[in-house]
Structures are given as structure tokens and as C-alpha cells.
């Protein structure tokens, strides 16, 4: 991969430089000025050349025009911003994780999202193995004018305690209308269809069927064999079309094979036939009108999507309104409001447990035909026949025995999809109102109120007839049940700012902001479930509980942060810029004495092209440097003991034990960062280069809980401890190899490398458990290592040779070893864009090097005999001597028989380190072909602009090392987005057609 990517970059850069030099004299277009205006922290507009820190702006068109609509704008940032690592998964309506400049806190963290200067919630909700997505998916991408990524501490220092993980600033569009001042109407419509990328789904062996050994378990009375029904593996007898066997459908009265023994052969329709081709339909209309001093824009968008899994559907309606109006020549107002209504059914289950994908990837029988399972479900779920005798329609391949049709380990996947589905409804509203009064020509006052509210109501069903499993509040094993979660989040911000600008001399001026903010956050969550199962099948209500439900699990808090800030920007002769900011925060989640803290920043930018007068060949050159501090406050309820109700006993309320000891002297965590960089433009912007180097030190990490001895009455304690360092480089390269009247070719390259180290944790503690994986592997913050250390069992070595256990002939395993790390070596992206008259073509190559992944699927699936490599040649029919040495150093000579339940390549023989894979990838992430109809063709119609595009996403995984899965497709968002491949949905190649008409 290294040779491929290095060669590709060298070829692109060298050819672009050559062509650019050849084309320079032919370039008749007007030189593009570098002094563009970008939106920075608090919605403050600045000349880009004056900034002393790295930021990267992406225009709205670059986000959406070249790809399908993912429904989550976070996913569409992938591969476009240096230093921004985007991890997407394949969960229906699921999360996209964002990480800027490495992991800065031991518990993980996402950047702050800001819309028009006001923060909004981007929390990820994942519970009971369901990924409900992150709140950024509520933003209508049609509203987005641009996104500016504030990467470092200096860029985000004005957000104080919320700026630790960087900031993504979204600027919404203003109404424009037609040139004649009349209303403008834009109508857009898109149809998208996905096709499974087969490289991300298992390739099954077709030589052996159900069982854990190559023997049939039981015989029927006529002497014919019964299949190994209750064995959820394919290490069974060899297929033989002349051999008749009673299989699962031989006992289904509605099957054509009822009472019959059928040929012992591999299934015609494997698990890949379970999936649909997901389709999405997106329609939007925008009404806008605008002129100086007043404009309005209204947008409505509807998105209807069907997922890969049967019975999965999402319907999202988004309404937005933005009004700018000058009440007087000196009094300006802005109002913006967006509302999202979303209904989702059939989200995919993640992780292990009852996720059908873990069955398909780990525990399956290759003789089972999916279409037969579908017909069995449809026939038996009929209300006229569904009963306890047929598990109310749950006729499964994995019956306990010939005489017992109950599920041994797995439900019928169609029963799971259509009966045990989840559903959720989400309401989201973000609104702000702002007024600005021009006191003087150089002083203005702005007042602003913003309100962000989201309601989520999620329901989980376990239908009567299901495989009994842990469910609900008690987590007791039941055969049916109903649970619901209600979550309300609100954030209210009150801002008052004074903007000033003064000319000290004709060539020296100062400008800035003095302001304050009051922020209130409210959270309310309730979780309730039935206990003991459902009384009446199919009625999903808390009142339909066989036993008395437990007390509702409730969580509520209100927090407040009061802030003041001041900025000063000095401009010397348009050649040197010096900026300073200072913010003080007061947090309600810390005790007095520690709850007031401040964050400074200072930046400088030197315009060398002005000083050296290089505009004839280097039209812009800037040197920049900065130092800043940002932080993060504590979560609620870290300072005092808090109790959770556990029900009533004899009329007396009882409460769960307190296992985490609070810390009275808790302080905010703090990050200190310095950054240097340069920006250079050659040949009238035909070649642009932006380089940044940074180093960040995060201290006073808030650990909750830090493990302690249970002898003191607690198992953990909240504490300030630990230090994480990050350092890295970011490079952005822009090339315009060809630029003429009709044809333009643009190349945009970004590349970044971050080095992370957990410097220390706490005296006596060298490892902090972050997450645990099925298969005996854990994700850790380990002293001296990069965050994301994977710990599990490894081989035992003697003189570099793997040691064999002389008692078993299997590898001798060494537990609790470092076996990998999830941190990538580098990330990057290359976009090529071509335009010729009305035609446009673009494609984006997205790359990641490194970042280890533990595959629980391979850990189990190789041992259960699913994958093709377990049935090559006589692999299963001969004894295997594993390569290695015995403890005395002699070569291993102990043979393993694989005939009877002993795979030499799965978890029964290999340590977990054998299933660590390099998570590198190269993807054709986006591609599009568009055509804008000529004006002459539209003459005489009410349409003044029309465009049609064919777009695609995830079209080709050019390179990957993780077998049978997408190395990006982790369990969910947040901490679940790092290093764990288990039961993932296959990736789809998405194709779409977009049409846009402007009237």
C-alpha cells in the first residue's frame, strides 16, 4: 500500500507542476484573490489571510454535489479535511464519529458543532446494542453554505471548556432569489440505490454442512440421518447429493419438504440473499427572495430510505426558515429555525447477542437456504396458524432437536427482522434570533438567543416465540418483552457581544469582540420495560407485563456555564497580524474554588509575500504561529454520591449501591497547544500549499471511574489524573494543472499524521480499561503507548518460535499482552475535479494507513468452519501439526485431528492476536458526473437553471487487509468506533441520480 500511495502522490504532483508551468502563460482568467472571508469561532467573520492558525473551509457544494446523500453530513466530510478522521459505519441511520488531531482525552470525545455561531448537540445515542445515530444527522445539508473546521486550540479557544476537541463551524445560506428581485424556487430530487460490496461479506465454504464434527448426531426411525439442528456451526459432515438427510424444514408442516429427507448439499441461497438493495428518495424545495437589507429562505426536504435488512425504513422531514431583515439602517436582525421529524423502524442490531449478522459471520450452517427460511416465516406467522406449537411463527434452522422446534441459539432471521424490530421517533428543533445595533461606525452590539431541543422515543420488542434472552431493566432471561427509552435534551444560549474596530494610524488598526455567554443544558432520560414477558402476544405496552415492572429508571440534570471573553486583533500594514483571546468560564458541575477558570490564546501571522514583494511568481506566502489553552469540565453528578432507585421492599424504597466515590477537589481538564505553519500560493493560485505542525498536552484528565480496591467500599473513584500528548503534521495541496476558458482540472490533496501517547495515568496505575470486546480483547489507555491499545492473548515465544502446549498440541497462549493499537499512522484524501463547458466530473480517493482492528467474526467464524479457507483441499480430513516448538525447544510433533471439532485456525487453537488485522484502506469514496443544461436550451421556459448528475459513494475498496468486512464498519459511534469488527453490516456501493431545477 505504501508504494502505491507514494507513487500515486509523486505522479500527481510532478505531472501537475509540469502542466501548470506550461499553462501559466495561457491563463487569461482573472487572478483569484487570497483574501477571502471565513467564519471563525462565535460566528466572527475574518479575512483568511489574517488567521494565525490552521482552519479548512469546505463549501456546501463540495460536501454534497459529488456524492450520494448519506443523511448525515458528518459522513460526507470523510477524506476532505487534513487532520479530521471520520469513521462511518454501516448501521442503518447510524453514527459517524469525528476526531480532530488525535484523541485528547482518555474517555474519548467529539468536536463541538456550531451553527451560525451557536453550539448544537451532536451526542451519539447507543443503547442495548442499537445505534440511534448522532444528532448531526438532523442538519439539512441543503441549508449549508460552508463548513469551517477549526482544528487546533488557538482556533477553538473562544469556546473555552468546549473547545478541547476542536470545532466544526457550519454557516447556513441566506436567501438570494432572482436577479430581478422576485422569488426564486429550487427543486431537487434524487434516487439512490445500494448494491452490496461482496468483499465486505463472508465467502462461505460449500463442502461441509451443519455440525461440530463430521458426524450426524441422530438417526430417524427409518435409519436416515437427522442434521445437527442445534449445532450453529458448519464443521459437519461432507456434502453428498446422494445422501438424504432430515433437515430443519422436514419438520415444518408448511414446507414442501415436510416429512421428507432431502439431498445433503450446500444451500442455493446463502445469507447474502437476506438483504435488500437499500433505496433512498430525497426531494427538496427551496423558496428564497433577497436584496440588500432583507432576504428570506424556506426549505423543505423529505428523505425516505429503506435499509439493507427487511422491514427497515426511515422517513425524515426537515423544515427550515431563515430571515435577515434590517429593521432600521442601524438595526439588523436574523432569525433561523430548523425542525426535523424522523421515524425509523428496523435499525440493525450491533455487537454480539441476538444480532443476525453475528450469526451470518460466526455461527451458521452452510446447508441452510435463506429463501426457505423466508417462506417458513411467511407461512407460519399467519394469525390462523401461529401458536406455541410453531413458536408463533419463529420456525428456525437452529431447532433444539427433531422433537423440539424451539430455537437453540438463533431465531429465524426473518422473524427477528419483522417481529423483534426496534422503532424510534425523533423530534429536533434548533432556533436562534439575533439583533445587531450599529452604535457607531466602528462599534456594534449583538444580542442573541439560541435554543436546541431534541426528543427521542425508542422502543424495543421481543416477540412471543423468540429465543429467551436477557432483556429489559432487570436483564433477566425472558421469551418476550417490551421496553422504551425517552430522552429529552435542551440547550439554551444567551449571548451579548460588542464588536469594535479602530484605526490607530492609517496602517495600523485594532478590532475584536467583548462578550458574554450563559449556557443552560437540560437532560432527562427515562427507561422502563415489562418484566417476566408479555401477557398478550403482539401488544407492546408497559401495561402488558406478566410481572410488576421495576421502577422506571430516571436520570435528570441541569447544568449551567457562565462565560466572558475578549478578543483583540492588530493589523500592521496588512503584513503582520497579532491576535489574542481570553475566555473565563464558570461551571456548575465543579465546586467553588475550582469552578472558575480561564483560557488564553495568542496568534501571529506574517505575510511574507508582501514583505518580500514576490507576487510575480509567489502571489501569497504566510508564516503563522500560535499558542492556546482549552479545556473540558466535568459531567454532572461527579462531586457527590447519587442514588438510583431499585424498587420497593415491604413498602420501603430500596436503592442500588454506590460503587464510584466522588472527588470533592475535581478540576477541569486542560489542553495546551502550540502550532506553527505556513501557506504558500504559486503561479496565481495554480499551486497552493498549507502546512501545519502542532503539539498538544492534555492534563488533569477527568477519570470516571478510576479503578480502586473494593476494600474501601468503592470499586472506582472520580479523579483528576493522566496526561495525553498529541503531535502531528497536516498538509493541504491544491493544484490546477489546466485552466482555460472552457476546461479546468483541479486536484486537492490532504494528508495528516498524528502521534499520540498516554504519558501517565495515576501513581500505581499503568492501564485504564476503555472498552471490552467479545473474544477476550480490550481497548485501553496504556501508559507509554498511544491511546487505543488492544490487549489480549498472544503466542508464547521461545527463541522467536511459537510454543506448543505439549498436552493439547495447540498454541500455548500468553494472556494480557499488547497485540495492537487502533490509532492510524496517517490519513489522507485526493480529489480530482474536471469541468468542461456544462460538464463536470469529480472523484475522491480516501485513504487510511494503519489502525489495528480485532475481528471477533474471524475469531469465531474460522473455528466454526464457515469461511472458504477452512475447506481447501483435504484441510479437514488430515491431521495437522501446528508450526512451532515444544517448551523444551524441539520441533512440534503433536498432531491435531480436525475431523472432530478441532479447527487449527480458529479461537479454539489460536490466541486473539491471530485475529488482529491492519485497518488500512484505500477507497474510491465519491464520484460524480454532472451536466448543466445550456441557457439557450431553457429559453422560453420558466426554468433558468437545470442540472442532472449521476453520483456514487463507496464505489470501490481499492485496498484493504481486513477479510470479509469493511475496516471502517465498527460497532457504533463514540468509543464503539475504534478497533472492533463484529457482526457488521456489509458495505454498499451506492449509486444515485440527482436533478435540480431553478425557477
Q: Residues 6 or more apart from 594 whose CB is under 8 A from it? A: 665, 666, 667, 668
Q: pLDDT value at position 702?
A: 86
Q: pLDDT value at position 709?
A: 66
- Kindly report the backbone phi and psi dihedral angles of residue 389, in degrees, each rounded to the nearest multiple of 5, phi listed first: -65, -35
Residue 968, SS3 per DSSP: coil
Q: Are residues 629 and 609 in the same domain?
A: yes
Specify the number of domains making up the chain: 2
> Which pLDDT band, with edges at 50, 70 and 90, does 182 fall under?
confident
Q: Are residues 454 and 493 in the same domain?
A: yes
Summarised one tens digit per residue, pLDDT across range 528-564 is: 999 999 999 999 999 999 999 998 999 999 999 999 9
Summarised one tens digit per residue, pLDDT across range 303-316 is: 999 999 999 999 99
Q: Are residues 271 and 308 in the same domain?
A: no
Asked if pLDDT for residue 466 goes beyond 70, the answer is yes
Q: Are residues 250 and 324 in the same domain?
A: no
Cis peptide before 705 (omega within 30 of 0): yes
Mean pLDDT of 500-519: 95
Summarised one tens digit per residue, pLDDT across range 687-738 is: 999 999 999 999 998 887 777 766 677 778 888 888 999 999 999 999 999 9
Q: Report if residue 802 sits inside a domain.
A: no
CB 244 within 8 A of CB 263: yes
Mean pLDDT of 160-189: 87
Residue 155, SS3 per DSSP: helix
Q: Report if residue 7 sits inside a domain.
A: no
For residue 75, give the DSSP letter: G
Q: Report if residue 137 sits inside a domain.
A: yes
- Kindly report the backbone phi and psi dihedral angles of residue 296, in degrees, each rounded to the nearest multiple of 5, phi listed first: -145, 145
Q: Report if residue 918 sits inside a domain.
A: no
Q: pLDDT value at position 986?
A: 96
Q: Give the lowest-confidence range in 94-98, 285-289, 351-355, 498-502.
A: 351-355
Asked if pLDDT for residue 203 goes beyond 80, the answer is yes
C-alpha cell at 558: 441541569
Count Cβ atoms below 10 Å from residue 302 Cβ, excluding itself: 14
Q: pLDDT value at position 711?
A: 67
Asked if pLDDT for residue 656 goes beyond 90, the answer is no
d(CA 234, CA 218): 17
Q: pLDDT value at position 902?
A: 67
182/344: higher pLDDT: 344
- Give, in order, the Cα–Cα distances in Å from 828 to each of 87, 169, 193, 968: 13, 21, 27, 15
Q: pLDDT value at position 874?
A: 87
Give the H or E element holding residue 144: strand 144-150
Q: Are residues 400 and 355 in the same domain?
A: yes
Summarised one tens digit per residue, pLDDT across range 113-163 is: 999 999 998 888 888 788 888 888 888 888 999 999 999 899 999 998 888
Q: Are residues 699 and 636 in the same domain?
A: yes
* Residue 790, strand partner residues: 779, 820
Asked if pLDDT for residue 181 goes beyond 90, the answer is no
d(CA 751, CA 81): 8
Q: Report if residue 130 sits inside a domain.
A: yes
Q: pLDDT value at position 21?
A: 43
Q: Are residues 625 and 711 in the same domain?
A: yes
Q: Are residues 438 and 548 in the same domain?
A: yes
Summarised one tens digit per residue, pLDDT across range 934-982 is: 988 888 888 889 999 999 999 999 999 999 999 999 888 888 889 999 9
- Kindly report the backbone phi and psi dihedral angles of residue 48, in degrees, each rounded to the nearest multiple of 5, phi listed first: -60, -35
Q: Are residues 292 and 272 in the same domain?
A: no
User: Whole-number mean pLDDT of the chain?
Assistant: 90
Q: Which one, of 199, 196, 271, lies nearest residue 990 by Cα?
A: 196
End-of-domain residue from the set 814, 835, 853 = 853
Q: Residues 6 or more apart from 553 whose CB is under 8 A from it? A: 473, 526, 527, 528, 644, 645
pTM: 0.91
CB 762 within 8 A of CB 106: no
> Which pLDDT band, with edges at 50, 70 and 90, does 485 fall under?
very high
Q: Are residues 635 and 756 in the same domain?
A: yes
- Kindly report the backbone phi and psi dihedral angles of residue 15, in degrees, each rounded to the nearest multiple of 5, phi listed first: -65, -35
Q: Are residues 405 and 489 in the same domain?
A: no
Mean pLDDT of 672-699: 95
Residue 822, SS3 per DSSP: coil
Q: Report if residue 585 sits inside a domain.
A: yes
d(CA 302, CA 316): 6
Radius of gyration (C-alpha) of the chain in whole angstroms = 31
Q: pLDDT value at position 30?
A: 34
Asked if pLDDT for residue 11 goes beyond 70, the answer is no
Q: pLDDT value at position 18?
A: 38
CB 75 within 8 A of CB 96: yes
* Percent of the chain surpassing pLDDT 90: 72
Residue 149, SS3 per DSSP: strand
d(CA 41, CA 445): 17
> Which pLDDT band, with edges at 50, 70 and 90, does 13 fall under?
very low
Q: Report if residue 230 sits inside a domain.
A: yes
Domain CATH code at residue 62: 2.40.170.20
For residue 763, give the DSSP letter: T
Mean pLDDT of 369-393: 95
End-of-domain residue from the set 853, 875, 910 = 853
Range of the domain at 118: 47-177+281-328+425-461+479-535+542-786+823-853
Whats the size of the chain, residue-wise?
A: 999
| SS3 per residue for 447-504 | EEEEEEEEEEEEEEEECCCCCCEEECCCCEEECCEEEEEEEEEEEEEEEEEEEEEEEC
Q: Are residues 711 and 735 in the same domain?
A: yes
For residue 208, give the DSSP letter: B
- E strands, 608-684, are 620-632, 645-649, 652-655, 660-661, 669-682
Measure the CA dihedral 97/99/104/105, to 10°.
-10
Q: Can you say whether the dihedral through the CA atoms of 914, 918, 919, 921 is positive or negative?
A: negative
Asked if pLDDT for residue 2 goes beyond 70, the answer is no
Q: Report if residue 754 sits inside a domain.
A: yes
Mean pLDDT of 243-267: 96
Q: Residues 6 or more apart from 881 whose CB is under 8 A from it? A: 809, 892, 893, 894, 895, 896
Amino acid at each position: 500500500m505504501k508504494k502505491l500511495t507514494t507513487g500515486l502522490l509523486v505522479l500527481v504532483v510532478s505531472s501537475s507542476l509540469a502542466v501548470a508551468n506550461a499553462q501559466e502563460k495561457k491563463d487569461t482568467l482573472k487572478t483569484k484573490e487570497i483574501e477571502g472571508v471565513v467564519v471563525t469561532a462565535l460566528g466572527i467573520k475574518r479575512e483568511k489571510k489574517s488567521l494565525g492558525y490552521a482552519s479548512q473551509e469546505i463549501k456546501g457544494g463540495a460536501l454534497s454535489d459529488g456524492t450520494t446523500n448519506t443523511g448525515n453530513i458528518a459522513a460526507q466530510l470523510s477524506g476532505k479535511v487534513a487532520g479530521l478522521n471520520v469513521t462511518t459505519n454501516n448501521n442503518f441511520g447510524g453514527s459517524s464519529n469525528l476526531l480532530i488531531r488525535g484523541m485528547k482525552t482518555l474517555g474519548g470525545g467529539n468536536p463541538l458543532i456550531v451553527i451560525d455561531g451557536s453550539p448544537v448537540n451532536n451526542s451519539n445515542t447507543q443503547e442495548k446494542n442499537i445505534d440511534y445515530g448522532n444528532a448531526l444527522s438532523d442538519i439539512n445539508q441543503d441549508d449549508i453554505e460552508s463548513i469551517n473546521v477549526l482544528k487546533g486550540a488557538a482556533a477553538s479557544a473562544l469556546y473555552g471548556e468546549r473547545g478541547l476537541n476542536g470545532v466544526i463551524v457550519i454557516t447556513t445560506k441566506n436567501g438570494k432569489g432572482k436577479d430581478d428581485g422576485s422569488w426564486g424556487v429550487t427543486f431537487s430530487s434524487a434516487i439512490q440505490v445500494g448494491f452490496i460490496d461482496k468483499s465486505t461479506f463472508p465467502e462461505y465454504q460449500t463442502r461441509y454442512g451443519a455440525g461440530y464434527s463430521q458426524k450426524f448426531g441422530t438417526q430417524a426411525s427409518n435409519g436416515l440421518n437427522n442434521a445437527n439442528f442445534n449445532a450453529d456451526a458448519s464443521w459437519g459432515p461432507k456434502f453428498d447429493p446422494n445422501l438424504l438427510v432430515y433437515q430443519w424444514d422436514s419438520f415444518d408442516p408448511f414446507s414442501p419438504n415436510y416429512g421428507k429427507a432431502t439431498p445433503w448439499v450446500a444451500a442455493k441461497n446463502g445469507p447474502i440473499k437476506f438483504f435488500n438493495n437499500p433505496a433512498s428518495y430525497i426531494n427538496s424545495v427551496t423558496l428564497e427572495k433577497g436584496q440588500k437589507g432583507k432576504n428570506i429562505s424556506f426549505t423543505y426536504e423529505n428523505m425516505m430510505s429503506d435499509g439493507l435488512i427487511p422491514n427497515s425504513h426511515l422517513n425524515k422531514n426537515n423544515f427550515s426558515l431563515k430571515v435577515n431583515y434590517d429593521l432600521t439602517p442601524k438595526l439588523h436582525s436574523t432569525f433561523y429555525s430548523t425542525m426535523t421529524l424522523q421515524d425509523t423502524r428496523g435499525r440493525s442490531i450491533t455487537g454480539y447477542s441476538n444480532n443476525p449478522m453475528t450469526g451470518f459471520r460466526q455461527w451458521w450452517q452452510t446447508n441452510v437456504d435463506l429463501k426457505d427460511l423466508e417462506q417458513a416465516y411467511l407461512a407460519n406467522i399467519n394469525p390462523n396458524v401461529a401458536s406455541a406449537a410453531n413458536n408463533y411463527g419463529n420456525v428456525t434452522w437452529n431447532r433444539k432437536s427433531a422433537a423440539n422446534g424451539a430455537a437453540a441459539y438463533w431465531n429465524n432471521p426473518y422473524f427477528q427482522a419483522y417481529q423483534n424490530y426496534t422503532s424510534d421517533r425523533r423530534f429536533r428543533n434548533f432556533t436562534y434570533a439575533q439583533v445587531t445595533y450599529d452604535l457607531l461606525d466602528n462599534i456594534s452590539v449583538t444580542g442573541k438567543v439560541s435554543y436546541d431541543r431534541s426528543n427521542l422515543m425508542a422502543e424495543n420488542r421481543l416477540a412471543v416465540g423468540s429465543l429467551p434472552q436477557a432483556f429489559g431493566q432487570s436483564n433477566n432471561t425472558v421469551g418476550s418483552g417490551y421496553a422504551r427509552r425517552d430522552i429529552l435534551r435542551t440547550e439554551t444560549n444567551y449571548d451579548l457581544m460588542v464588536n469594535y474596530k479602530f484605526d490607530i494610524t492609517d496602517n495600523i488598526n485594532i478590532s475584536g469582540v467583548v462578550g458574554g455567554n450563559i449556557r443552560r443544558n437540560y437532560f432527562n432520560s427515562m427507561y422502563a420495560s415489562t418484566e417476566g414477558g408479555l401477557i398478550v402476544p403482539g401488544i407492546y405496552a408497559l401495561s402488558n407485563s406478566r410481572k410488576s415492572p421495576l421502577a422506571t429508571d430516571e436520570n435528570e440534570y441541569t447544568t449551567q456555564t457562565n462565560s466572558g471573553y475578549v478578543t483583540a486583533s492588530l493589523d500592521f500594514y496588512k503584513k503582520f497580524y497579532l491576535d489574542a483571546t481570553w475566555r473565563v468560564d464558570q461551571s456548575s458541575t465543579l465546586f467553588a474554588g475550582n469552578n472558575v477558570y480561564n483560557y488564553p490564546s495568542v496568534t501571529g501571522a506574517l505575510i511574507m509575500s508582501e514583505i518580500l514583494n514576490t507576487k510575480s511568481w509567489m502571489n501569497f506566502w504566510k508564516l503563522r504561529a500560535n499558542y492556546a489553552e482549552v479545556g473540558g469540565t466535568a459531567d454532572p453528578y461527579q462531586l457527590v454520591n447519587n442514588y438510583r432507585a431499585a424498587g420497593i421492599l415491604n413498602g420501603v424504597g430500596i436503592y442500588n449501591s454506590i460503587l464510584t466515590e466522588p472527588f470533592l477537589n475535581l478540576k477541569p481538564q486542560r489542553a495546551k497547544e502550540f502550532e506553527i505553519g505556513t501557506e504558500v500560493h504559486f503561479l496565481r493560485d495554480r499551486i497552493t500549499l498549507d502546512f501545519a505542525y502542532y503539539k498538544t498536552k492534555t492534563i488533569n484528565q477527568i477519570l470516571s471511574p478510576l479503578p480502586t480496591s473494593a476494600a474501601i467500599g468503592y470499586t472506582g473513584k472520580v479523579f483528576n489524573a493522566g496526561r495525553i500528548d498529541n503531535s502531528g503534521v497536516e498538509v493541504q495541496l491544491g493544484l490546477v494543472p489546466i485552466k482555460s476558458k472552457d476546461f479546468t482540472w483541479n486536484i486537492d490533496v490532504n494528508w495528516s499524521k498524528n502521534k499520540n501517547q498516554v504519558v501517565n495515568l495515576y501513581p500505581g496505575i499503568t492501564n485504564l480499561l476503555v472498552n471490552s470486546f467479545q473474544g477476550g480483547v480490550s481497548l485501553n489507555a496504556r501508559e507509554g503507548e498511544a491511546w487505543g491499545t488492544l490487549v489480549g492473548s498472544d503466542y508464547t515465544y521461545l527463541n522467536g518460535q511459537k510454543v506448543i502446549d505439549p498436552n493439547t498440541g495447540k498454541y500455548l497462549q500468553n494472556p494480557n499482552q499488547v497485540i495492537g493499537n487502533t490509532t492510524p499512522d496517517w490519513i489522507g484524501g485526493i480529489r480530482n475535479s474536471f469541468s468542461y463547458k456544462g460538464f463536470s466530473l469529480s472523484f475522491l480517493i480516501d485513504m487510511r494507513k494503519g489502525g489495528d482492528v480485532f475481528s471477533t467474526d474471524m475469531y469465531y467464524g474460522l473455528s466454526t468452519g464457515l469461511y472458504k479457507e477452512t475447506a481447501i483441499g483435504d484441510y479437514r480430513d488430515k491431521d495437522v501439526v501446528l508450526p512451532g516448538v515444544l517448551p523444551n525447544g524441539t520441533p512440534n510433533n503433536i498432531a491435531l485431528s480436525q475431523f472432530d471439532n478441532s479447527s487449527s485456525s480458529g479461537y479454539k487453537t489460536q490466541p486473539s492476536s491471530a485475529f488482529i488485522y491492519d485497518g488500512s484502506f484505500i477507497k474510491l469514496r465519491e464520484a460524480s458526473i454532472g451536466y448543466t443544461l445550456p441557457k439557450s436550451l431553457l429559453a422560453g421556459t420558466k426554468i433558468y437553471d437545470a442540472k442532472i448528475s449521476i453520483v456514487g459513494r463507496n464505489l470501490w475498496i481499492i485496498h484493504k487487509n481486513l477479510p470479509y468486512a469493511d475496516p471502517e464498519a465498527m460497532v457504533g459511534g463514540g468509543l464503539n468506533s475504534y478497533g472492533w469488527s463484529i457482526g457488521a453490516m456489509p458495505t454498499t456501493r451506492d449509486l444515485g441520480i440527482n436533478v435540480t431545477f431553478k425557477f
